[in-house]
Structure 1
Amino acid sequence: MGGDYILLEQHQQLGDTTLFPGGSCGSSGAGGQVSRATRRRLSSFQQLLLILVAGSCTIALYAYWDVMLLTSGNVPETQLSNETLAEKLQREVRVLCWVLTTPKYHKSRAVHVMRTWGKRCNKIYFMTSEPDDELPTIVLTKPDKYEVLWGKTKEAFSYLYEHMLDEADWFMKADDDTYVFVENLRYMLYPYSPDQAIYFGYNFKMVGTHQKNESYMSGGSGYVLSREALRVFVEGLNDTTKCRQEDDHAEDMEMGRCLFNLDVKAGDSRDSKLRHRFYPLLPFNILLSGYFGLDFWLYKYAFYSMRSCMDCLSEYPVAFHYVSPAQLYVFDFFNYDFQLMGKQKPVERLPEKIKPEDLVIPEYDNHFD
């Protein structure tokens, strides 16, 4: 550094000497006419000071550029090239999860949901009647009674619509004994536009007198509404001809009936091999064909034909129901930490986007009574 020189400009009117480091921020590089007499060698301390100033300015400019890119919605190509498929989906398919719970289950159930699959949602909230320091809670006004689950569901979705509509593309409702593979949920939702009024879950046939193709999604394994479906639901739920105004009766059934009357489409959540991805039971109920008899209620009420066999479980399941707190951690371990030596990972590709006008939803095919 002993051979480096710096130009100094004499400000006679001020009587001081000002440093103009070449290439540093705040300097135009012109500096005016400077004579050789104004050149002198800098001390080591001055050189170090100039290096620190130049470095600080460079860091500040880079940080400003990075913030501008993020706020404008653009991500640097170098960052995109290193992005995993799961990270891409997390960025492009924003899922807000909300879990229906009660204070008596905060510590025994809800907190374990938060520590496992819940942390993978873009945002998660626990709908309950009391706040909790360990949980991001939203306190509802409805009482903690099973008989008013429909009322609590209406209130929860209404709150999200009024305060968080723009914070997510999809809104997933689950119970505190549900396990959700959030990455698989995003993968399933990727082809669909959140601006289309559609929702997904495990599709049940409507019981009793109903219209053709009327169905509802199992509340136990959860269901997910698009942003537009949420808007249509909340803005239309006070229509007495379309939605039940009382808070009682089965929550998932009333949700399905209300959405059907509001012309929100009940999407087909099965994979390309017609295997279900939402399950109102645990995995072994589906894998073991002899576990239940043919008179089991699941076979009777499934909207799409239901089977139990070792090949009947989707490779990319989304949700299971009746999962104990201990099983939440087992699911987490075998899917996020467990490694099988020598197993070749599959090549993963995102599905094609589906235009709303090209969407085809199959009619029910389960004629078992």
Structure 2
Amino acid sequence: GTALSYSRRSLFISFLIGFSIGISTVAYIFLNHNAVCLEQHLTLFSLDQPQRHKELSYENTSGLPKVFCWITTMPSNLVKAVAVKRTWARRCDQYLFISSEHSSDLPSVAAVSGEGRHLLWNKTKFALTYLYKHFGDKYDYFYKADDDTYAFVDNLKRLLLERFNPETPVLIGQTHFMEYPLHAKKKIRA
């Protein structure tokens, strides 16, 4: 009786302490992460207010910044890329898939020959150069995503409208640590 009750109480108290420490740690990390530019401007959307993003529809985007979305993909991820095309990409003012092969299923450009992590920078460099040359003066912002991203483009446009001036260059992203070459930690913007 008493020993079992004490053991359960002790286990419960240990659980509560661990849970509290876990929640505190997550809250600390969330509130103090190294976000560049947006860390103080992020808006959290509550599930209690689902009507909030119904106010803006694709047909009602006048006055909002023009956003060009470029999505990196690869031939083996065609199903993912087509899903992006059918869902959120159509909310962009224009979009383009950057891959190693052109696909008739997507508006796409072949940026590199072959795929692999070692070619990611080449793909990104190609995309930046290509987009600047062909679309640089037609859009206010360029949004880079991957084929496994889901973006709420209408919310992004609102945030950009409220917080930034399209005439002022800005890079919005997260600071990540990467070990490349081996054992050489470097900060990169992503």
Q: TM-score, normalised by structure 2?
A: 0.60
Structure 2 residue aligned with 1:71: none
Q: Deviations over 1:9-28 (max 9, x none)?
A: xxxxxxxxxxxxxxxxxxxx
- From 87, 98, 104, give the equivalent of 1:127: 98
Q: CA 1:111/1:168 → structure 2, altered by over 3 Å: closer, same or farther?
A: same
Paired residues of 1:90 and 1:186 also in contact (CA < 8 A): no
Q: Distance in 1 between matches of 2:115 and 2:177?
A: 26
Distance 1:197 1:159 in 2: 18
Distance 1:103 1:168 in 2: 27
Contact between 2:70 and 2:97, CA under 8 Å: does it hold in 1?
Answer: yes
From the CA coordinates, give the structure whose radius of gyration is larger: 1
Task: State the identity as a percent.
Answer: 37
Unaligned 5+ runs, structure 1? 1-83, 209-252, 258-369
Read off the aligned partner of 1:178 and give its amino acid letter: T
Q: Paired residues, what number?
A: 127
Alignment of 1:323-338 (within 5 A): none
Name the amino acid aligned to 1:164: F
What aligned pairs does 1:55-66 form with structure 2 within 5 A after superposition? none
Determine if contact 2:112/2:119 at 8 Å carries over to the other structure: no
Corresponding residue SS for 2:175: strand
* Distance in structure 2 (CA, Å) of the matches to 1:184 and 1:153: 25
Give the TM-score normalised by structure 1. 0.32
Q: For residue 115 of structure 1, report the CA deviation from its aligned partner.
A: 0.3
- In structure 2, the residue corresponding to 1:158 is in which secondary structure? helix
Residue 165 (structure 1) aligns with: 136
Distance of 1:151 and 1:91 partners within structure 2: 35
Q: How far off its partner does 1:114 sit? A: 0.2
Q: CA RMSD in A?
A: 2.3
How far 1:92 sits from its partner (Å)? 2.7
Contact kept in structure 2, 1:102 and 1:144, CA below 8 Å: yes
Instruction: Tell me, yes or no, if structure 1 residue 182 matches structure 2 residue 157.
Output: no
Pair 1:197 & 2:165 matched: no
Q: Structure 2: which amino acid aligns with 1:187? A: R
Q: C-alpha distance in 1, partners of 2:114/2:153?
A: 29
2:69 is matched with 97
Q: CA deviation at 1:90?
A: 5.3
Distance 2:81 2:145 in 1: 11
The structure carrying a bigger strand percent of its residues is 2
Q: Tell me the CA shift for residue 110 of structure 1.
A: 0.3
Q: CA deviation at 1:204?
A: 2.9
Q: Quick one: distance in 2 between partners of 1:141 and 1:207?
A: 23
Shift of 1:144: 1.1
Which ranges of structure 2 fall in alignment gaps of 5 or more residues?
1-54, 180-186
Distance 1:205 1:99, change over 3 A: closer
* 2:109 corresponds to which of 138, 156, 162: 138
The CA deviation at 1:187 is 0.9
Q: CA deviation at 1:145?
A: 1.1
Greater RCO (Cα-Cα under 8 Å, separation 6 or more): 2
One-letter identity of the residue aligned with 1:133: S
- Going from structure 1 to structure 2, the CA distance change for 1:133 and 1:90 (only over 3 Å counts) comes to farther
Amino acid at match of 2:139: A
Q: Is the 8 A contact 1:100 1:174 kept in 2?
A: yes
